[in-house]
Amino acid sequence: MRAMIVALALVLLGPACGSRGTEHECAPVDANAYCAAMGEAYCGLQSQCTGWPGFETERCRRSWAAQCEARVASVLKGATAFDSAAAGCGVEALSVAECGVYSEALGKGELAFRGVGAGGANCTADWECNADTYCSFGVGCAGRCVARAVDGAACGNGVACVQGLACRAGRCTAFRGAGEDCTAQPCDGDSFCRGGKCVSRLAEDAACTGPSQCREGLACLSDSVCRHPPKLGEACEALDCPAGLYCDLDTHTCRQRLPIGASCTSPNDDYLRLMQCEWRSECVPVAGGAKCADYHQKDAVCEPLWSLCAPDLYCTSYGACRPLLPAGAACKSPSECQSFACDGICLGQHVCPGTSG
């Protein structure tokens, strides 16, 4: 079945892509076929790994399409460039990915999109802007591609730094390497800050105290040692399992997170309530037991840092799901507004801070 998915996904064959030599070559997929191909591969993987007869594959495909098609729309209107070769490699990687270990494959699919908007171009999201710019106010606002802030310039509050710099204490600053001071500047991706100095990320079996300390591919597990994270069915403790899996605290093995509608356990346990079910759902009590439920609805109790409300709601500071605020309403965060644009008040759909309309 998985082989059939790969074949269906790579529907538009052309010159082989990928680097010359010994690297594997992928068949390209064009923009019109991309969302369906990636959705088929992703939902096929989820269905297989979950092993739950009630898994709603079609709902999964629709959910994927809703997220993906906004990007493809940007391609069709010329705001984003599309690399069919990278798309083909992303589809193939996801089609053969293992349960719970597919973030790298999803990342390959992301490489298919490249923003083309230069400074001053209209945009609706960062992916429509080129590498030197960013969309100043994101989805839901009539944004513009603006130049990224350079080394030493002010950043934060929606201002992004040039790629390769980090926003630290309100200023764009260069990353530091192993052996360099990190009291005022962040360490690069190959090191972490310890005792005021950047230290090379730790090798397998080294003692660790935090998730960012281990080398790529390793994780600081519950025994405070850098190791490869356990796979589906392997032994685990608490937060050891990678994305898409959770640790069953009865059997201490990694299990696939459950789809919406599946029976679940321990709705009153904070860890299992949130980790047992797939992203954007949680385990809630129902007559005769508990099940994984989609989002919190209006007036439901929520936790701002953990629980999610339905797409047209936001979680207030006092823990209740409330409708998104209209233009003109007082706000503290863009996530509270229908336009996703806040400047003390919710701005209109086509008005952004610093623009006239």
What does the pLDDT look like over 251-279, one tens digit per residue? Answer: 899 988 888 888 888 667 766 777 888 76
Residue 308: enclosing H or E segment and its boundaries?
none
Is 29 within 8 Å of 8 (Cβ atoms)?
no
**Domain range list for the chain:** 2-115, 201-256, 257-294
What confidence score (pLDDT) does residue 52 get?
60
Q: How many other C-beta atoms can be found within 10 angstroms of the C-beta atom of residue 330?
A: 10
Judged against a pLDDT cut of 80, whether residue 287 lies above it is answered with yes
CA–CA dist 220, 211 (Å, integer): 5
What confidence score (pLDDT) does residue 150 get?
92
Question: What is the pTM for the complete model shown?
Answer: 0.55
- Local confidence band at 201 (pLDDT 50, 70, 90 cut-offs): very high
What confidence score (pLDDT) does residue 186 get?
86
CA distances from 46 to 34, 219, 261 (A): 18, 23, 14
The tokens for 162 are 């040039």
* Dihedrals phi, psi of 168, to nearest 5 degrees: -130, 125
Q: How many CA atoms lie within 13 A of 242 on its CB side?
A: 18
Return the higher-pLDDT residue of 21 and 329: 329
DSSP 55: -
Judged against a pLDDT cut of 80, whether residue 349 lies above it is answered with no
Average per-residue pLDDT for the chain:
78
CA distances from 269 to 173, 190, 281, 321 (A): 41, 36, 15, 21
String of DSSP letters for 107-131? HHHHTTEEE-B-TT-EESSGGGB-T
Residues forming beta bridges with residue 301, ordered by sequence position: 320
- Local confidence band at 19 (pLDDT 50, 70, 90 cut-offs): very low
